[in-house]
Structure 1
Amino acid sequence: MTSVEHYLQSHNIIYTLHTHEAVFTCEEAEKHCADIPGLACKNLFLRNNKHSRFFLLVLPAKKKMDIKKFGEIVGEKNKLSFAHADELKEKLQLDPGSVSVFGILNDDKHEVELYIDKDVYDADIVTFHPNVNTATLELSREMFHRFLDMIEYGENIVIL
């Protein structure tokens, strides 16, 4: 059992666990996880130019990311970019390929800003890695919203 599963169970958040081969990209996930119900999500770890703000953006796997629009939404007029692997490790204790909304559980200092695309927030069922890329957790909308309430990061819902 992963620490994510332990957290969810201890907070009465019901989920379904699906195990599969390791996946590192949305394309691989689509191939190996096609039979898992729900909205597949991608999780992007971004930073500003000064490396002073970090963002975890959760959006549908098939949705094209408009990084300029997201930068405007979060008040970063200068270019946003993907954070480096060492920053991901430092802030969320994750490796590339294992980024997930559940990574926010590792952000003890609340240094990462969490943003959820409205399509993800409104989906009936959503799916995410439990911070390892050999499994996927399936959550109902109610359970996902309960998770968001529990972590107390606010509901930063964006339309991209």
Structure 2
Amino acid sequence: MAQALANCNRVFSTSERYSEKSAKHPDLGFSLEAASPSHYLKRRSPAKPLENVVMPKTFDELLQFLDELNIEISTIRHAPVFTVGEAQDLRGQIPGAHTKNLFLKDKKDNFFLVTVDEEAEVDLKTIHSKIGAASRVSFGKPEKLLEYLGLTPGAVSVFGVINDDQHQVRVVLDEGLMQHDTINAHPLSNDATSSIIRDDLLTFLKATGHDPLILKIDGSVPN
């Protein structure tokens, strides 16, 4: 199966496009269905509609936005992954830092997207004192993740701020992560990994109106 999954990979440049529809790989015998916003919306019951949700940006729209900033990314398509461990097993060797992302909220409904290296240790009991939260934090609900960042659980990514035009989410980047020249993240769905230059990531964030906090979040690194 590992070989079959490896055969699914394909590299895309910024100028290329690919379909977000799920694909069925003949060697695997099951659908490689991504955790995409459109899939999440379709699966919800009509009796429980989501409020205040505008259809999120697509991968192509993300690429167009980056093109306008003269930012180039490279993207590898793979089977959908939902955990850091699955990502490590499926993506193959992709240079640069790989990320994990925490969508958090405090008791006053201030929301934060904390992006760290995939191996970083994050203490949720104390992180509020570092990021300026009004209280201890908890994970934000999937409905708010979709409403603010246009993302679904399993596909949380710093690229999601392209959907946060009301600036409801504060972005926090770990300073250890930002020591890497290249940073990897899901491009709005979890069936691909995109590589972006560190300085280009900062340019992208600022262009979306998100001036990130760069702080020491990783507890595994000594002060």
State the partner residue of 1:34: 92
Query: Which residue of 110, 114, 118 corresponds with 2:175?
Result: 118
Work out the number of aligned pairs and report it.
159
Equivalent positions of 1:1-160 (< 5 A) are: 1=17, 2=59, 3-50=61-108, 52-76=109-133, 78-160=135-217
| Cα distance in 1 between the residues matched to 2:197 and 2:206 | 14
* Structure 1 residue runs of 4 or more that deviate by more than 4 Å after TM superposition: none
Kindly indicate whether structure 1 or structure 2 has the higher relative contact order, using CA contacts under 8 Å at least 6 residues apart. Answer: 1
More helix by share: 1
Q: Is the 8 A contact 1:5 1:130 kept in 2?
A: no
| Cα distance in 2 between the residues matched to 1:75 and 1:127 | 26
Q: Is the 8 A contact 2:165 2:208 kept in 1?
A: no
| Cα distance in 1 between the residues matched to 2:153 and 2:91 | 19
Structure 1 window deviating more from structure 2 (145-154 vs 105-114): it is 145-154
Letter paired with 1:35: Q
SS at match of 1:95: coil
Q: Percent identity?
A: 33
Letter paired with 2:98: A
Structure 1 window deviating more from structure 2 (65-74 vs 14-23): it is 65-74
Q: Is the 8 A contact 2:183 2:195 kept in 1?
A: yes
TM-score, normalisation: structure 2: 0.67
- CA 1:93–1:77 in 2, change beyond 3 Å: closer, same or farther? closer
What's the offset of the Cα at 1:70?
1.8
- What is the Cα-based RMSD across aligned positions, in Å? 1.5
TM-score, normalisation: structure 1: 0.92
| Cα distance in 1 between the residues matched to 2:111 and 2:133 | 11
Letter paired with 1:128: A
Which has the greater radius of gyration?
2
What's the offset of the Cα at 1:26?
0.7
What's the offset of the Cα at 1:69?
2.9
